[in-house]
Amino acid sequence: MNGSQSDGQYPHPFGPGVVEEFADLLGGTLRPRLRRDFPAWILKAPFVEANRGRFMLRFMPKWQEWATTEAQRIGIDTSSVLAGEAGWNQLTQLYDALRVQLRQIADRRSAFSWLVITRRINPADLLPAARASISEAVLSFALSEVGSSRRPSKSAELITSRWWLAPQALTDLDELCSVGMLLFNVHSARRRVAKGQSLRLEGAHLVPEVVDTDDTVERAISLYDGRLKFTGGRGNDLGSFPRTVTDRRESANIITWADLRGQDLVSRDDLTRLLQTYGPVFPLGTNIEDLAPAAFSSGVGLTLETQAATAVLSAAWTYLADRGATWKSVPGDWSQYGYLRCPRDWFTARLKDGPALPELLGSSWREGATVREVITLLVRAQVVLPVGRHVVVDLTRASSLLMDSFERAKEGAAANEWGSSFEAAVQEAIDTTPWKPTSALRSVIGKKVKDENGNVITDIDAVAFHAGTLWLISAKAFQAGPDYTVGAYDAVKRIARKAVAASEQWNGYLERIRWRPSALGVDLPDGCTLEGLVVMPFVPYVPIESSAAKPVGDLCHVSSIHELITVALRA
């Protein structure tokens, strides 16, 4: 395995020990791959061959023409400069129109049919391998609507799913990826405009072309995009640092599922080698309390979705374990394609027993929900697909639902507890790295630092020490929210302002402490350098010339918790 990975704008080398530890973990969880899927191989072989030389989607010209016409109807042409909130609104109209077309393509097949097709014919084979990271992003847009198809799944599909892969399946997938590519380009343009760029949509592919003469925004976007590769997963906006099973109480452990193809610690060469021998989907023991500690300590943040996701993951593992899945030599559709099917009556009976982990999540369903309502929730979340007398469970989507199910408290004592939990998570993360502070320096954690007149300057949320450098850390448990995640204009500006303000404030405090380091109340090592960091649950977009983007070692002054742990681990 490669010992490091990096982005040209923002390097984040992983330490060799971390990579090897992850390799050992995979060695105990991966299952042998199933026999070659000949129907899928025969159908996609011509496309794969053609794609080795150049990018090609057969239906792309059709959808390029449609998108160009729709853009002109909205008032966007090749000469239109899109900027500010007005430009963002125009792009949003085009984005929504493409989503409608994507939804109509999705309705050609049932959700179960799409699940089988997209897991057996990897859509990545239809997209340019040379730009793998972009291909993955395109796929996320192309597949965003298939799970909500309004065409019902039929029992016959379940019975014949191993054999039916007609050429029409590849046609539908081609069109899905074509619209997904255009949708991705418009989404990229919209996010850039939200960050302050002016641009045009260039060519039939609607590729954003920047027209700004000043490159400061472009450099800020490049920095942000590079940092996003190390955000650490979907749960980090909770203000937690997810870990695998710990030595906490065993009753908090749950089996979640991950896809080998989405792991940053696996190089592409190693991924190709592993997939020749193993299926890509593997079970991973996770301590549910570690996902959002404040939700369990305060009781605020646990939802019906949390109960439902935990219940379906627990039921899935019970079903698989009863059929030998605990043995390393036993593979199945679950390890190759990431889903399992089980009798509907059995699944319903499991839910009638009540929520899994009742000592943590309660013995009855929240909001007074019935089992029928829980199943409806899981169907809408595209986790469970009813097919005749069976249900099909999407294991990786169920794991994602669990991570997304917690709701952070927004006010009151519970909100303060969420903030305190994030501070503790930052220090716990540091303590797993070579930057773990000495016992003497740990006395600074939580200390109210005062000036010579006894006035409080600030308190220190976390500290890290290595090679003569002491990091004094302010942990800011800001919430990104769904608007920020999709790149909404106002949300991007709001988070940038908060990040820059936090950075400038902490710099001011640090200067006062540097002027009088005795205020820390501890003897610093000879030659010790004091540095300040602001740590957030997620990666913020910040202006490139702001103090928030200034380097502190291999980090920015305002960094995410996962960036912090990634850099600290390689010390």
Structure confidence at residue 545 (pLDDT): 94
Q: Looking at the predicted structure, is the pLDDT value of residue 135 above 80?
A: no
List the helix and strand counts (H, then E) for the chain.
23, 15
Q: Looking at the predicted structure, is the pLDDT value of residue 522 above 70?
A: yes
Q: Please report, for the chain, the start and end positions of each structural domain, with discontinuous segments joined by +.
A: 34-211, 300-404, 411-568
Q: How confident is the model at residue 544 (pLDDT cuts 50, 70, 90)?
A: very high
Structure confidence at residue 36 (pLDDT): 76
Element (H, E) at 352: helix 344-352
Classify burial at 467, counting beta carbons within 10 Å of its beta carbon; exposed 0-12, middle 13-18, buried 19 or more.
Answer: exposed
DSSP state, residue 35: S
Size of the chain in residues: 571
Q: What is the pLDDT of residues 457-493, one digit of tens each?
A: 999 999 999 999 999 999 999 988 888 888 899 999 9
Q: How confident is the model at residue 56 (pLDDT cuts 50, 70, 90)?
A: low
Higher pLDDT, 562 or 14: 562
Q: Looking at the predicted structure, is the pLDDT value of residue 73 above 90?
A: yes
The answer to whether 299 and 368 are in contact (CB under 8 A) is no
Structure confidence at residue 128 (pLDDT): 58
Higher pLDDT, 236 or 45: 45
Element (H, E) at 241: none
Q: How many CB atoms lie within 10 A of CB 310?
A: 23
> What's the rounded Cα separation, in Å, for the pair 198 and 84?
8
Type of residue numbered 9:
Q
Could you tell me the maximum CA-CA distance found in the chain, to the nearest angstrom? 80
Share of the chain above pLDDT 90, in %: 51
Q: What is the pLDDT of residues 291-343, one digit of tens each?
A: 888 888 887 889 999 999 999 999 999 999 998 888 888 888 899 999 999 99
Q: Tell me which of 17-31, 292-306, 375-389 is least confident.
A: 17-31
Q: Tell me which of 150-164, 267-281, 397-411, 513-527 is least confident.
A: 150-164
> What's the rounded Cα separation, in Å, for the pair 374 and 361?
14
Structure confidence at residue 26 (pLDDT): 72
Q: Looking at the predicted structure, is the pLDDT value of residue 190 above 90?
A: yes
> What's the rounded Cα separation, in Å, for the pair 509 and 501?
13
What would the DSSP string read from start to end of 475-500? E-----HHHHHTT-HHHHHHHHHHHH
What would the DSSP string read from start to end of 396-431? HHHHHHHHH------SHHHHHHHHHHHHHHHHHHHT
Classify burial at 27, counting beta carbons within 10 Å of its beta carbon; exposed 0-12, middle 13-18, buried 19 or more.
Answer: exposed
Q: Looking at the predicted structure, is the pLDDT value of residue 53 above 50?
A: no
Q: Tell me which of 36-50, 67-81, 114-128, 480-494 is least confident.
A: 36-50
For the residues 92-118, what does the mean pLDDT come to? Answer: 92
Q: How many CB atoms lie within 10 A of CB 493?
A: 15
Could you give the C-alpha distances from 466 to 392, 528, 530, 556, 571, in angstroms and in order?
A: 50, 10, 11, 17, 8
Q: Is 392 left (phi over 0), alpha (psi -120 to 50) or beta?
A: beta
Which residues lie across from 32 on neighbouring strands?
Answer: 278
Mean pLDDT estimate for the chain: 84
Closest C-alpha among 410, 404, 403, 378 to residue 300: 410
Task: Return phi, psi of residue 552, to 5°.
Answer: -125, 95
Structure confidence at residue 381 (pLDDT): 92
Q: What is the pLDDT of residues 249-287, one digit of tens each?
A: 567 889 999 888 777 667 777 777 888 888 889 998 888
Classify burial at 494, counting beta carbons within 10 Å of its beta carbon; exposed 0-12, middle 13-18, buried 19 or more.
Answer: middle
Which residues lie across from 532 on neighbouring strands?
Answer: 472
Strand pairing class (456-459; 448-450): antiparallel
Q: How many CB atoms lie within 10 A of CB 347?
A: 24
Strand pairing class (529-536; 558-560): parallel
Q: Looking at the predicted structure, is the pLDDT value of residue 131 above 70?
A: no
Structure confidence at residue 242 (pLDDT): 47
Structure confidence at residue 233 (pLDDT): 45
Q: What is the pLDDT of residues 76-92, one digit of tens each?
A: 988 899 999 999 999 99
> What's the rounded Cα separation, in Å, for the pair 190 and 15?
36
Q: Tell me which of 19-28, 113-122, 453-462 is least confident.
A: 19-28
Structure confidence at residue 296 (pLDDT): 86
Alpha-carbon dihedral 255, 260, 262, 267, rounded to 10 degrees: 140
The sign of the dihedral angle between the CA atoms of 190, 196, 200, 202 is negative
